[in-house]
Structure 1
Amino acid sequence: MVTLLEGGAYLLNGTEIIPDNQEAAAAVAAKTGKQMNKEEASKETISYGILKSHNTSGNMDSLKIKFDKLTSHDITFVGIIQTARASGLTKFPIPYVLTNCHNSLCAVGGTINEDDHLFGLTCAKKYGGVYVPPHQAVIHQFAREMMAGGGKMILGSDSHTRYGALGTMAMGEGGPELVKQLLNQTYDIKMPGVIGVYLTGEPVKGVGPQDVALAIIGAVFKNGYVKNKVMEFVGPGVERLSADFRIGIDVMTTETTCLSSIWKTDKEIEEFYEIHGRKDEYKELAPGEVAYYDGMICVDLSAVRPMIAMPFHPSNTYTIQEVNENLEDILDEVEKRAAVSLDGAVEYSLRDKVRNGKFCVDQGIIAGCAGGGFENICAAADILKGQYIGADEFTLSVYPASMPVYMELIKNGCAATILETGAVMKTAFCGPCFGAGDTPANNGFSIRHSTRNFPNREGSKLQNGQIASVALMDARSIAATAANKGVLTPATEFDGTFGKYKYHFDSKIYENRVFDSKGVADPDVEIHFGPNIKDWPAMCSLPENMVLQVVSEIHDPVTTTDELIPSGETSSYRSNPLGLAEFTLSRKDPAYVGRAKEIQKAQTAVMEGKCPVEEKPELAPVMGTIRKQYPDVGEGNIGFGSTIFAVKPGDGSAREQAASCQKVLGGWANIANEYATKRYRSNLINWGMLPFLIEEGELPFTNLDYLFIPGIRKAVEEEQGTITAYVVKEDGLKSFTLTLGDLTKEERRIILEGCLINYNRV
């Protein structure tokens, strides 16, 4: 189904793989008549060409990328624009689309969600952007329909910013990276590795894009095969997939921890652009005659079978057949993994879902940027035709990804077919993906064609003793399960026929409702603010020396951004930095906020010109111990703050708040064995936090210990490779070593200034 080459590989004419070994160069020359080395052949990938055309550094080893377009949704755009305004924003320099697909319901927090929407509309008018009202489209569907272009690059403040199937290299990052683009700065990265994804065969009946995606994720997530690299989809199997099918695979590449994705393009993609009235945006993309890839994933599409990602991660994959045939063993394995993810906070069991030897689920959801596409829903309708979901516990909700998709489903009758079954059709909304919609009952089990299944992604709250869980599946198998009244069923058991539905895009829907400034700013427009929209608090520059208190210690193998700052219930507070910060680590370590605030008192005293020891007397013996070895450390040259340790933090969402919430509570650093994603590490840096690394093994400190880092400012300025830190003990200072990893010149300056806002004010 999915195999990985151990090393790199050459691809000849897009159809033949030659593994990189001692005979590779000779084999390439014999078949092509060309002498090609790795360096030359790596320039023949699609990825290299797109990155080169957007790089402004003149050095392809150290890229400074300027994107063509930007996109954000209503959980992120307020903070981004507020940061940019504080940094001197006067106009959006490139097209910037503000969608409203996350806080669409305006059901929590009184007026604050709609205040955010009006903030977005007035900013689109003032600075020259595009505003998509609630319920019109989820962020990524609108981008596919109206923003993507062959050979272009798009940056979005959502981790699933992926439009590679349409020939657009797109990346999801934290808000500060968009702020940089709004201020005519660049996205700075080293040249990423490029991994080929070589597709052969053709999917069997009943297999959908989520099945292929989950098969790939299961093969590459744990081993980091594509981490921070670009996935480039090639091979003869590509042409056997529709545009919608490719899009469905592509959006899930985020869950592999890759940096971005790109696909070769053909007539299918050209037709997609033509249908959407943008044929001139199509560009044929293909690797050169001889292209070199840093790794190769080989996927036999014909061998893929309906998949399920069991709780609580998209990489926890099995075939549905495996689950049904080995229920006891697999459920036992899932429950053991869940105990780690949930820290024993609640009792969790799936065995009560087994009835008469069958696994029964409580809810099905087909939604969002992954599941809400036209073909997915049409296929689900075909499976459900003439069936009904029953009058018991099981429910099914379907969310088309945009109003144009919804309209076409109404016109071709698929919406009526679905509604006749007892299922519900809803408007475009991302809530089921991040925990703000369709929460099941306690202990409920939901199968969803959406992007993630982390704990609480379905809306339950561990801190309140609630637990429900999500498994990821394709819309087709969700429909087959629904037709079977909730009994887990693969769509390959469907013995009917799938229709061939022609899609017609109704552009009038957007023309009549979406505000498009056409890039013209109106500086006279007054921005609409609400009582929940707050400015960022003042943040100081990096001190010469630093005392950090460890206020949380997390030893899970991976810590998600959902665990660092919860998703669903906090979404209404994303425009209020201090209000949102109250939720930091609330699911993982409820004591964190109080501890962080306590040590923050000392830094607040420093910033106000007061004595930190008077504000926090327990620091007196700490400073006494430090001064025995460093007598010059004291007033005017020291700062105080908090840090957390986590083994591998930052998997999942691009949300910058996972870092900024720590910062506004006085956080100065994270200490980790490894960072799960580039985007989380970038978020730390952009908020002036030190992304420390420590070698795996027994830690030299424990929770609540004080750490002293002398000369930290000088270390950052002078690009020191290693940093000597100390644990402050009663009997003296105990040294240990930290590193900061690679930092660009600009990243060092941001850390030194204390955050991106300060950096841009200098």
Structure 2
Amino acid sequence: MVEIINKGAYLYKNQAILGYDDNLNTDDITSFLIAKGEISSNLNNILNKDLARKNTISYDILTSHNTSDNPKKLKIKFDALASHDITYVAITQTAKASGLKEFPIPYVLTNCHNSLCAIGGTINEDDHVFGLSAAKKYGGIYVPPHEAVIHQYMREMMSKCGSMILGSDSHTRYGALGTMAIGEGGPELVKQLLSKTYDVDSPEVIAIYLEGKPKLGVGPQDVALAIIGAVFKNGFVKNKIMEFVGPGIANLSADYRIGIDVMTTETTCLSSIWCTDDKIKEFYAIHGRTDAYEKLEPKAVAYYDGLVKVDLSKIEPMIALPFHPSNVFSIAELNKNAKQILSMIEEQEREKIDNPNACFNLTNKIVDGKIKVDQGIIAGCSGGTFENICIASEIINNHSVGNDYFNLSVYPASQPIYLELIRNGAIAKLMSAGAVVKTAFCGPCFGAGDVPSNGALSIRHTTRNFPSREGSKPGLGQISSVALMDAQSIAATAINGGILTPATEISIPEVNVSYHFDSSVYKNRVYNGYKKPEKQSELKYGPNITDWPEMLPLQDKILLKMCSVIMDPVTTTDELIPSGETSSYRSNPLKLAEFALSRKDPNYVQRTKDVQSVENNRQKLLKDDNSADISEIKAVIEKINSDSLDDDLLTNTAKNIQFGSVIFAIKPGDGSAREQAASSQKVLGGLANIAEEYATKRYRSNLVNWGMLPFTIDPSANIKFNVGDYVYVEGIIDAIKNSYEEIDALLISSNTRKGIKLKISNLTDDEKKIVLSGSLINFYGTEI
């Protein structure tokens, strides 16, 4: 089904695997290439790795967007940017504080997260008004609420073969349409708005070789989950480019490819790109953008750093059980071994739920030997595509979703899709069967729409099923569960009374998926001010939109207090700053920070505030306020020094030690690109994270851009941290400036004091300056 080949691979265009590093048959390859007319007599340099690496699609796109002289250290400038309404306010505010005058490239401000305007009074709509005013003032593109989810609009209107797009949402993936897209935290978009670059080491490229044809009843989410299940836990494609090649691509429609591609985010890859063909050419023609198409495929012989072989014909309907898209099983396997598998998931996931009053139970969903679910959702950038909904509607047609506990909601990904589904009758079929059809909205993906009841199990064709992401609050004893599935199997389950059913076990009717894109929907509502900034117009602020608090530069001596220790194998950004109800406060850094780690460590915020209070007192001392209490810092200094110090010397020493909070997590930052996972820590006085490794590049970048030190430790050192421990570092400025591989530090606990080694690797020159400045805002503020 999915085979990982962890060695270099040579491919011929989009057609065949020539061989691997350790078993190249040069005679056969020569004969093959001669037959193809690629060479006349011998291989010459065609199997030279350095040359063959340059024959990938990825190499061409990255090279054409790189502004540096070093091909191993890329400085990328993108063709377009995209944000939604829980990120664009902070991005615009940060860019404005850093000297923004005009959006230099197309910047699309969509409104698909806080669309409901249901939390916090007027503040959601206030953000939307701010977004439109920003588009007018700086020359942006504004997509009003309910018109389209961010990624569908970018697919329909902004993608282009060979181009690159940067988005402040982790699922920024348009590779199936020939666009290399990357999801990052907001500060990386700020850099582009200020005509700076996205700096990254040249990534490895992994071939995703598709062959065969999916069987009836197997949809794009099934293929995506099969790939995620194979590559996530071993990190095979982490921070790499997934380049989709192989003859199987021709057997997939554009929508089908899009459905696989958007889920590549869950592999932790950096980006994705696909070979393009007449089906993608047709996609662009349908959307009135024929000039955006270009045929993309590897050159004659291309070398890849690894390969994932996917036999599409062997993929079965899949399900990702709570609480991660990589918890993958075939639905048939789960149904056959329901008790065993669900018990295993209960056991492994209960350890991650800190509240003993939160009842996490999956085995109670087994009724008369079958798994019965409570809710179905088809929505967002992965599930809400035209073909997914068309096929689901035909499966459901002339059936009933029932009037019991099970319910089904469907969200088309854009108004043009919705309109065409009305015209072709799909919406009528869904509604008459009892499904509820709603407008374009990302709510079910992040906990702000269709939140299940306590104890419920929801099956969803959406992007993620992290703990609490669907809106439950284990800290308050509320917990529900989400499993990811394809729309076809969700529809099959719906007509089977909520009994979990793979679509391969029902009759799949023939479906007409011909599509007409009505451009008038956007022409009549979307504001396009690109290259037409109204510089004299004013930004419109609501009372919840506030500036960032002052962030001080890094000092040479730092004392870090451990305010949270997370021992889960992976920590998601949802656990660092919850989604859902917190999204309304993304424009107010101080209010948002109150939610930091609230579902993972409810006492974290108060601990950091206590640290911040002491640091504020230290700042007062520097201004000759001798009444300020810094006894905590002084007490630690006494433990650091073997010689006793009098109070005056202790005070003077403490004045020169910056005091801040730190968290330890084994592997933090999986999931969302949201910068607030880092900035909320910074607002509360955070100075660093310590980890064994960072789950994604984007989370590490967020730490750096908010002036926080991304420390790592060697797992083999067996260092144990506890809440309340201190970590003291001297000479951190020199260590950063000179790229020290290891930094000496002291770990001070209640009864021990020992030296440890910290690392900060691969900081770029600009990243060093940002950390030393205390934040990206400070760094660019000095350049205004």
The TM-score bracket by the shorter chain reads over 0.9
Any conservation in 1 of the 2:359–2:455 contact (CA below 8 Å)?
no
Match of residue 26 from structure 1? 26
1:146-165 superposed Cα distances (whole Å, 9 cap, x missing partner): 00001000000000000000
TM-score (norm 1): 0.98
Residue type matched to 2:478 in 1? Q
Match of residue 347 from structure 1? 359
1: CA distance between counterparts of 2:489 and 2:60?
38
Match of residue 703 from structure 1? 723
1:254-281 superposed Cα distances (whole Å, 9 cap, x missing partner): 0000000000000000000000010100
Any conservation in 2 of the 1:374–1:400 contact (CA below 8 Å)?
yes
Higher deviation after alignment, 557-566 or 34-43: 34-43
The answer as to 2:660 corresponding to 1:641 is yes
Cα 1:437–1:671 change in 2 (3 A) is: same
Any conservation in 2 of the 1:540–1:607 contact (CA below 8 Å)?
no
The answer as to 2:641 corresponding to 1:621 is no
1: CA distance between counterparts of 2:430 and 2:721?
57
Residue type matched to 2:322 in 1? P
1:752 to 755, 772, 776: 772
Any conservation in 2 of the 1:625–1:730 contact (CA below 8 Å)?
no
Match of residue 592 from structure 1? 604
Residue type matched to 1:690 in 2? L
Cα 1:493–1:753 change in 2 (3 A) is: same
2: CA distance between counterparts of 1:277 and 1:613?
70
Residue type matched to 2:523 in 1? E
Cα 1:495–1:260 change in 2 (3 A) is: same
3-state SS of the aligned residue for 2:382? helix
1: CA distance between counterparts of 2:430 and 2:618?
62
Any conservation in 1 of the 2:746–2:754 contact (CA below 8 Å)?
yes
2: CA distance between counterparts of 1:425 and 1:270?
30
Match of residue 427 from structure 1? 439
Taking the TM superposition and a 5 Å limit, the aligned residue runs for 1:121-160 are: 121-160=132-171
3-state SS of the aligned residue for 2:688? strand
Match of residue 231 from structure 2? 220
1:110 to 113, 121, 127: 121
Match of residue 674 from structure 1? 693
Match of residue 486 from structure 2? 474
3-state SS of the aligned residue for 1:56? coil
1:531-581 superposed Cα distances (whole Å, 9 cap, x missing partner): 110100000111010000001001000000000000101010000001000
Any conservation in 2 of the 1:25–1:37 contact (CA below 8 Å)?
no
Match of residue 39 from structure 2? none
1:147-190 superposed Cα distances (whole Å, 9 cap, x missing partner): 00010000000000000000000000000000000001000000
3-state SS of the aligned residue for 1:341? coil
Residue type matched to 1:712 in 2? I
Cα 1:738–1:629 change in 2 (3 A) is: farther
Any conservation in 2 of the 1:601–1:615 contact (CA below 8 Å)?
no
1:480-502 superposed Cα distances (whole Å, 9 cap, x missing partner): 00011100001112214221221
- C-alpha displacement of 1:463: 1.6
Q: How many matched pairs?
A: 762
Residue type matched to 2:691 in 1? A
- C-alpha displacement of 1:87: 0.6
2:670 to 651, 654, 661: 651
1: CA distance between counterparts of 2:121 and 2:451?
20
- C-alpha displacement of 1:6: 2.2
Match of residue 88 from structure 1? 99
1:542 to 554, 562, 571: 554
Residue type matched to 1:741 in 2? S
- C-alpha displacement of 1:12: 1.6
The answer as to 2:336 corresponding to 1:325 is yes
Match of residue 535 from structure 2? 523
2: CA distance between counterparts of 1:615 and 1:572?
36
- C-alpha displacement of 1:22: 4.2
2: CA distance between counterparts of 1:731 and 1:493?
63
Residue type matched to 1:139 in 2? I
1:359-389 superposed Cα distances (whole Å, 9 cap, x missing partner): 0000000000000000000000110011001
1:446-499 superposed Cα distances (whole Å, 9 cap, x missing partner): 000000000112211112110001000000000000011100001112214221
2:506 to 494, 497, 504: 494
1:227-261 superposed Cα distances (whole Å, 9 cap, x missing partner): 00000000000011000000000000000000000
Residue type matched to 1:692 in 2? F
Q: CA RMSD in A?
A: 1.5
Match of residue 12 from structure 1? 12
2: CA distance between counterparts of 1:570 and 1:689?
22
Match of residue 465 from structure 1? 477
3-state SS of the aligned residue for 2:351? helix
Any conservation in 2 of the 1:659–1:680 contact (CA below 8 Å)?
yes
Any conservation in 2 of the 1:602–1:612 contact (CA below 8 Å)?
no
Cα 1:629–1:247 change in 2 (3 A) is: farther
Structure 1 gaps of 5+ residues are none
3-state SS of the aligned residue for 1:292? strand
The answer as to 2:319 corresponding to 1:308 is yes
The answer as to 2:83 corresponding to 1:72 is yes
Match of residue 377 from structure 2? 365
Any conservation in 2 of the 1:151–1:169 contact (CA below 8 Å)?
yes
Cα 1:592–1:278 change in 2 (3 A) is: same
3-state SS of the aligned residue for 1:615? coil
2: CA distance between counterparts of 1:518 and 1:741?
39
Structure 2 gaps of 5+ residues are 34-41
Any conservation in 2 of the 1:648–1:676 contact (CA below 8 Å)?
yes
- C-alpha displacement of 1:714: 1.4
Taking the TM superposition and a 5 Å limit, the aligned residue runs for 1:203-602 are: 203-345=214-356, 346-602=358-614
- C-alpha displacement of 1:518: 3.1
2: CA distance between counterparts of 1:705 and 1:612?
27
2: CA distance between counterparts of 1:14 and 1:199?
10
1:561-610 superposed Cα distances (whole Å, 9 cap, x missing partner): 00000010101000000100000000010110000111112322334435
Any conservation in 1 of the 2:617–2:630 contact (CA below 8 Å)?
no
The answer as to 2:5 corresponding to 1:2 is no
1: CA distance between counterparts of 2:196 and 2:543?
31
Any conservation in 1 of the 2:175–2:274 contact (CA below 8 Å)?
yes
Cα 1:753–1:299 change in 2 (3 A) is: same
1:110-145 superposed Cα distances (whole Å, 9 cap, x missing partner): 000000000000000000000000000000000000
Residue type matched to 1:651 in 2? D
- C-alpha displacement of 1:37: 1.1
Any conservation in 1 of the 2:323–2:481 contact (CA below 8 Å)?
yes
Higher deviation after alignment, 618-627 or 318-327: 618-627
Residue type matched to 1:581 in 2? A
1: CA distance between counterparts of 2:574 and 2:306?
30
- C-alpha displacement of 1:619: 2.5
Cα 1:736–1:514 change in 2 (3 A) is: same
1: CA distance between counterparts of 2:746 and 2:461?
48
- C-alpha displacement of 1:734: 1.5
3-state SS of the aligned residue for 1:605? helix
3-state SS of the aligned residue for 1:120? helix
2: CA distance between counterparts of 1:168 and 1:622?
53
Any conservation in 2 of the 1:602–1:613 contact (CA below 8 Å)?
no
1:491-542 superposed Cα distances (whole Å, 9 cap, x missing partner): 1122142212210000000000000013211111111101110100000111
1:181-240 superposed Cα distances (whole Å, 9 cap, x missing partner): 000100000000000000000010011000000000000000000000000000000011
1: CA distance between counterparts of 2:764 and 2:230?
32
1: CA distance between counterparts of 2:373 and 2:630?
53
Any conservation in 2 of the 1:601–1:616 contact (CA below 8 Å)?
no
1:743 to 763, 767, 771: 763
The answer as to 2:193 corresponding to 1:182 is yes
Match of residue 682 from structure 2? 663
Identity of aligned residues (%): 60
1:609-631 superposed Cα distances (whole Å, 9 cap, x missing partner): 35799434233211223344798
- C-alpha displacement of 1:733: 4.0
